[in-house]
């Protein structure tokens, strides 16, 4: 599996378990709190293609990571554009109000306040996604209305 991550609008690629783990850690480091970090697991690198988008490749699913500005909490989302059309975000078991975690830097939209989790839980879910390219089962999900 090849993982493409877009962190602060820059492409990063990883193939080995160590490279993927380091890339997830980098997304969770707090350096990217101002934008959603997007992960794609596929058989090849994601690409925008040429100026006419020939050669463009993105799989039909995405795992996203948002981080609070202090790096203490994180949130995840998963979207699948296939026939099932899944759109979910993480859900805290404690249902407490969490910190603001940005989902979209363009619209200013935030994850719901109960989506905040410890970064270790989001990392575990991200690594599961990167291995399987499927909705991770290691965290609880709730419906989302981002798009």
Contact between residue 4 and residue 11 where contact means Cβ atoms under 8 Å apart? yes
Global model pTM greater than 0.75: yes
Q: What is the pLDDT along the chain (147 residues), one digit of tens a residue?
A: 899 999 988 999 999 999 999 999 999 998 877 889 999 999 999 887 767 767 778 899 999 999 998 889 999 999 998 777 889 999 998 766 678 898 888 888 899 888 999 999 999 999 999 999 999 999 999 998 765
Give the model's pLDDT for residue 69: 86
Domain span at residue 11 reads 2-143
Domain tally for the chain? 1
> What residues contact 130, with CB distance under 8 A and at least 6 apart?
1, 3, 14, 20, 24, 39, 41, 63
């Amino acid at each position: 599996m090849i993982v493409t991550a877009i962190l602060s609008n820059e492409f990063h690629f990883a193939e080995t378990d160590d490279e993927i783990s380091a890339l997830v850690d980098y997304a969770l480091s707090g350096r990217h709190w101002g934008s959603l970090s997007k992960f794609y697991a596929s058989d090849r690198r994601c690409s925008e293609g040429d100026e006419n988008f020939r050669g463009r490749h993105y799989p039909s699913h995405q795992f996203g990571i948002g981080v609070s500005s202090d790096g203490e909490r994180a949130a995840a989302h998963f979207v699948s554009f296939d026939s099932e059309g899944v759109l979910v975000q993480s859900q805290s078991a404690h249902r407490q109000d969490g910190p603001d975690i940005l989902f979209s830097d363009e619209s200013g939209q935030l994850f719901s306040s109960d989506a905040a989790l410890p970064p270790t839980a989001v990392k575990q879910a991200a690594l599961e996604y990167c291995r399987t390219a499927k909705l991770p089962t290691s965290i609880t999900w709730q419906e989302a209305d981002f798009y």
